[in-house]
Structure 1
Amino acid sequence: MLDRWVNIFFSLALVFVFILFGDSQQHNQILFGLFLAALLSITAFILNWLTIDGASSATIFGGFAYGLGGLAGAAVVLAFFISGSVLSKDLISREGFLEKKFRRNGKQVWSNGFWFVLWILIWFLTDVDAFLIGAVTSIATAASDTWATEIGENRLKGKTRLITTGEKVQPGTDGGISFYGTVAALTGAAFIAAVFWFFAIDAMLSTILIIAITGFFGSLIDSYIGARFQNVAYSLSGLSSIGLENMYVSNNFVNWISAGLASVISLILILIIGV
C-alpha cells in the first residue's frame, strides 16, 4: 500500500515539473524517459524480474532517471538494476523447467530508488549538483548492498561475523559481513561510480571517489542497522493516530534508511569540500 502512495506522489511531482518547468526538449525527454522505462519494465515483468506493482513503480522510477537525470541518471539506474537482477537470478532446474528465484515488488523498487528520485527532483528544480551526487550515492549504496548479499552470502560463502559483536554467524544472517561480501560491496559501489563517471561529462575524480566510498559505507550502515533493529516490531507513540499499532523494521526499511543516510553524508561532504 505504501508503495502505491509513493507512486502517486512522484507521478504528481513529474506532472508538476512537466507543466511548470522545462522547455520542449526537456518535455520530450520526460516523455521518452517514461516510454523507455515502461518498455523496460514490461520486459522485466515478462522475464520474471518484476511483479506488476514492481513494474509500475519501476516505470515511474525510470521516468525520473532519464526524464530528469538524463543519460547519466538512466545509465546509473540501469547498471544497478541489470547487475542486481543478473546476480540474483540463479536458474534452478526442476522437472525440466527453469525457475527464477524471485520478483522485485514495488516496495523493493522504492526501498532502493526513493532517495534517487527525490534528490534528482530537487536537483532538477535547484540545479545544485550536490543533489545529483546524493542521488547517485543512494544507488551506489543499493548496488553495494545487493552485490554483497548476492556474492558474499549466496555465491562465495565464507566466514561471516556479526558487524556489531564480531561473533561467527551463518551466511545470510542480518548484519553478517564476510571478506568476499565486503569486497563485493566495495566493487558494487565503485561500479556505479564508474558508470556515472563515464556518462557524466564534467564529473570530477574526487566526486567519483566520494560516491564510491560513501556508497560502500552505506552498505556497512545497512549491515549495522540490520544487526541491531531488523525483523523487530517497535511500539512508538503517535502510531495509533495513523492506524498503526507498531512499526516493523523490515529489510526494505533498512535498505531505505541506509541509502538515505549515505546520500545525506555524500551531500554534506560535497558541500564541505566544494567539489
Structure 2
Amino acid sequence: MTAPVRRAGVFAVLCTLSLAVPLSGPRVGAALAGVVLLAAYVITDGPLFDLLAYPGDYEDSRLYGLITFVLSGVALGLMATKASMPVAVFVATLLLVGYGNFGEQLVRLRFELSVVRVVGFCLAATSAAIVGQTITQSLVGDAVASSLPSVVFLAASGAFLAALLRDVLLRSDDPIVVLSVGLLLWLLAELEPSIGAWEIVVALVVTVALGYASYALETASIAGMLTGILLGLLTIVLGGYGWFAVLISFFAIGGISTKFRYERKETLGVAEDNNGARGSGNVLGNAAVALVAVLGYAASDAGFLPRDPTLFLFTFAGSIATAMSDTLSSEIGSVFETPRLITTLEPVDPGTDGGVTWQGELAGIAGATIVAAIAYGLFPEVGVVGAAIIVAAGIVGMTVDSLLGATLEGTFLGNQGVNFLATLSGALISAVLVLSFPVLG
C-alpha cells in the first residue's frame, strides 16, 4: 500500500470521528477535534509526520494540511450545533470528502485514467455520505435523512461538487472542499426537495450518461463534465425535466457549434483550447445565473421567497437564451474573416473581442429562438408573449457580451466574467419584461 493510500485511509478514519457528535454529543466531538489538533501541532517529524504530511508541510515541518482540515470540520460542527445546519449534513460532508479521497487513491493503484479515478471518488463519496446520513438519522432522528431519495440526492450532489473542486484545486485545499460541500448540502436540505426513488435514479442516470458523453466526445473536460452533471442534477430535482431540456439544449448545441469547422478556426487562431473541450470555468460562466434561477425557483416554490416561481423560469430561460446566442454567434461567426468591432463597425481580425459578423448575429438570433421554442413547447405558462420575451432577452444578452468584449474584456474582465455578466443581463431583461407585461397573469 502506497503512502498516498495510507494517508487517505488515516484521513478517512479521522473523518469517521464526526460520528461522535450524533453519538455522544458536541462536547465529545470537540474534545476529539482538540486532541487531533494538538497531535498535528506537536508532530513535526518521524514516520507519523511522513504519513500525514502534504508536500507543502515539509518546508515548516508542520502538518498544516491536517490542521486546516480539522479546523474546517470544526467550523461545520459549530454550524451543526450552534446554527440550523442538520447534523446529518455535517457528518455526511466529512465522510464524503474523507472516504471519497480514500476510494480515489485505491482506484489509482490500478487505473491511470483520470476519469476512472473521478468515478472511484464519486462512488465512494456518495456511498459514505448515504451511510453517514442514515446512521445520523438512527441516532438523532434528523429529518433531513427521513427520505432515502433525498439522502441519495444530497450525497450525489455533494460528491459531484467535491470531485469538481478537487479537480480544479490542489489536494491540500480539502478544507475549501469541506466547507463548500457542507454549505451546498445545507442549502439543499433547507429546500427539502420532494422526489421519489425512481425520479432520483433516472435523474442520476440521465445526467451522468450525458455528462460522460460530453467528455467522450471531447466537448467537455473532466471539470466541465462534473460541472454539467451537477448543474443537470440540481436542475432536474429542483426544477424538473422541462428546465433540464432547456439547459441541455444549450450544452448539446453549444458543444456541436464548437466543433463546427474546427480546423478552419484553428487556422484563424480562434478555436477553443483542448480540442474544443470546455472546462468548468466556461460552463459556470454560461450557466451560473441559470443555476441561481433554479435555486430561486425552488426557494420560491417552498415559500422562502415572496415571488411567483414562474418569474424564475423566465430568468432561467433568458440566461440560457443569452448563453446559446453568444455561443452560436461566436462559434459560427468566427469562421468568417471580416468581423467588425461592435462599437465602431471598423474591420478587425478574427477572434478580436467585440468583433461581430452578420452571419454570427443571425446564428445568435436563431439560438435564442431555439431556446424560446423549447420553453414555449414545454411550459404552458410561457405562451407567445413569453417566447418573444425570451428571444429578446437572448439578443440583448448577446449584444451586451459583444459590448463588454469590445470595452472591458482583457483589461477589467476575463472571458468567463464577460459570459457571466452577459447571461445576468439576459436574465434581468427577461425578468423586467415579464413584470412589465401580463405574462404572469
Shorter-chain TM-score range: 0.7 to 0.9
Q: Tell me the distance in 1 between the aligned counterparts of 2:206 and 2:363.
A: 30
For the pair 1:199 / 2:199, whether they are aligned, the reply is no
- What amino acid does structure 1 have at the position aligned with 2:384? L
Offset at 1:68? 1.8
Task: Verify the 8 A CA contact 2:341 2:356 in the aligned structure 1.
Answer: yes
- What amino acid does structure 1 have at the position aligned with 2:287? G
Instruction: Show the counterpart of 2:219.
Output: 49
Instruction: Show the counterpart of 2:434.
Output: 270
- Consecutive unaligned residues of structure 2, counting only runs of 5 or more, are 1-164, 170-175, 264-273, 302-308
Task: Verify the 8 A CA contact 1:107 1:252 in the aligned structure 2.
Answer: yes
Match runs of 1:113-132 below 5 Å: 113-127=287-301, 128-132=309-313
Q: Tell me the distance in 1 between the aligned counterparts of 2:179 and 2:226.
A: 11
Task: Verify the 8 A CA contact 1:31 1:67 in the aligned structure 2.
Answer: no
Task: Verify the 8 A CA contact 1:88 1:101 in the aligned structure 2.
Answer: no
Q: Tell me the distance in 2 between the aligned counterparts of 1:62 and 1:10.
A: 17
Greater RCO (CA < 8 Å, at least 6 residues apart): 1
Task: Verify the 8 A CA contact 2:311 2:431 in the aligned structure 1.
Answer: yes
Q: 1:22 aligns with which of 178, 193, 217?
A: 193
SS of the residue 1:39 aligns to:
helix
For the pair 1:146 / 2:327, whether they are aligned, the reply is yes
Q: Tell me the distance in 2 between the aligned counterparts of 1:191 and 1:9.
A: 35
Instruction: Show the counterpart of 1:77.
Output: 247
- What amino acid does structure 1 have at the position aligned with 2:379? A
Task: Verify the 8 A CA contact 2:290 2:319 in the aligned structure 1.
Answer: yes
Deviation per CA, 1:156-180: give whole Å up to 9, x if none: x163211112211123211011111
64 and 14 in structure 1: CA distance in 2 versus 1, 3 angstrom threshold? farther
- What amino acid does structure 2 have at the position aligned with 1:262? G
Instruction: Show the counterpart of 2:286.
Output: 112
Offset at 1:199? 1.7
152 and 6 in structure 1: CA distance in 2 versus 1, 3 angstrom threshold? farther
Task: Verify the 8 A CA contact 1:159 1:179 in the aligned structure 2.
Answer: no
SS of the residue 1:168 aligns to:
coil
223 and 30 in structure 1: CA distance in 2 versus 1, 3 angstrom threshold? farther
- What amino acid does structure 1 have at the position aligned with 2:343? T
> Given the two structures, how large is their TM-score scaled by the length of structure 1?
0.82
Task: Verify the 8 A CA contact 2:325 2:366 in the aligned structure 1.
Answer: yes
Q: Tell me the distance in 2 between the aligned counterparts of 1:51 and 1:225.
A: 26
How many equivalent residue pairs? 252
Task: Verify the 8 A CA contact 2:297 2:310 in the aligned structure 1.
Answer: yes
Deviation per CA, 1:226-275: give whole Å up to 9, x if none: 0001111x4xxxxxxxxxxxxxx211110111101110121122122231
Task: Verify the 8 A CA contact 2:353 2:406 in the aligned structure 1.
Answer: yes
- What amino acid does structure 2 have at the position aligned with 1:134? T
Q: Tell me the distance in 2 between the aligned counterparts of 1:78 and 1:7.
A: 29
SS of the residue 2:247 aligns to:
helix
Q: Tell me the distance in 1 between the aligned counterparts of 2:220 and 2:428.
A: 28
Task: Verify the 8 A CA contact 2:354 2:406 in the aligned structure 1.
Answer: yes
Instruction: Show the counterpart of 1:215.
Output: 394
For the pair 1:180 / 2:363, whether they are aligned, the reply is no
For the pair 1:62 / 2:241, whether they are aligned, the reply is no
Offset at 1:117? 0.7
Higher deviation after alignment, 9-18 or 80-89? 9-18
Q: Tell me the distance in 1 between the aligned counterparts of 2:373 and 2:416.
A: 26
Q: Tell me the distance in 2 between the aligned counterparts of 1:7 and 1:166.
A: 49
Deviation per CA, 1:168-193: give whole Å up to 9, x if none: 11232110111111111111111111
Instruction: Show the counterpart of 1:259.
Output: 423
Q: 2:316 aligns with which of 135, 143, 148?
A: 135
- Consecutive unaligned residues of structure 1, counting only runs of 5 or more, are 93-99, 235-248
Instruction: Show the counterpart of 2:53.
Output: none
- What amino acid does structure 1 have at the position aligned with 2:225? A
SS of the residue 1:101 aligns to:
helix
What percent identity do the matched residue pairs reach?
29
More strand by share: 1
Deviation per CA, 1:37-87: give whole Å up to 9, x if none: 122112211221211111111111111222222121111111111111111
217 and 179 in structure 1: CA distance in 2 versus 1, 3 angstrom threshold? same
Higher deviation after alignment, 187-196 or 168-177? 168-177
Instruction: Show the counterpart of 1:246.
Output: none
- What amino acid does structure 2 have at the position aligned with 1:203? V
Q: Tell me the distance in 2 between the aligned counterparts of 1:206 and 1:11.
A: 41
150 and 75 in structure 1: CA distance in 2 versus 1, 3 angstrom threshold? same
